[in-house]
Amino acid sequence: MPSANRNSKGVAMSKNDNTLKRALSMALTDDGDAALPFSQASSDDGMMAAIAQQMQVSMEKKKKEKEMKLLQAAKNEMNKLVDDKAAEFTECVAEMDGIYSDFQFAHASAEDDIRKLWIQILEEQKKLQALAIAKYKSNVEREKRREQDHIKAMTHARKACEDMQRLIASLEPQA
């Protein structure tokens, strides 16, 4: 069995653990400067605490990097979605504008057709009114002629009656 060193708590440490300690003792600090090697007099507990702190800093840094990558990916995805929806909205607005323009054109055309029909109705109404006035005048003239003809006929009938009366009176014996 390989020989094992023991730390201050009596926990066996392998040769690899000692190598790891030395490597970590040369680890970089947060601002990029090389840390001074741990002194040989420091305890194994201090070494383990430094290693744990260094690992925690490294894990926090990796966690922060992952979070930043996740946030950046979410931001990119959100921007993409917003851009897509904005483009879709723009297309919908353009389509609605086209539909509304078509509606306005069709409505204006229908209004023009309706106006033409009203003008035709007005012209026909004027013609009908002129025909009604002409018919009324014609009826008045015919009524005058009929009345005059009736008066003449009555005059002839009266004269015929008078002539008949005279004839009867002339044929009667005179006494």
Q: What is the pLDDT of residues 135-148, one digit of tens each?
A: 999 999 999 999 99
pLDDT confidence of residue 134: 96
Rounded distance between C-alpha atoms, residue 74 and residue 17, angstroms: 40
33 is a domain residue: yes
Rounded distance between C-alpha atoms, residue 152 and residue 148, angstroms: 6
Q: Which of 20-29, 95-104, 128-137 has the lowest mean pLDDT?
A: 20-29
pTM metric for this prediction: 0.42
pLDDT at 54 over 60: yes
174 is a domain residue: no
91 is a domain residue: yes
Give the number of domains in the chain: 1
pLDDT at 131 over 60: yes
Q: What is the pLDDT of residues 104-115, one digit of tens each?
A: 999 999 999 999
28 is a domain residue: yes
For residue 117, the one-letter residue type is L
**pLDDT category, 150, cuts 50, 70, 90?**
very high
173 is a domain residue: no
130 is a domain residue: yes
pLDDT at 80 over 70: yes
The three-state secondary structure class of 57 is helix
73 is a domain residue: yes
Rounded distance between C-alpha atoms, residue 56 and residue 24, angstroms: 13
Is the CB of residue 11 less than 8 Å from the CB of residue 18? Answer: no
175 is a domain residue: no
**Residue 47 CA to its chain's centroid (Å):** 68
Mean pLDDT along residues 20-34 = 49
Domain that holds residue 97: 5-168
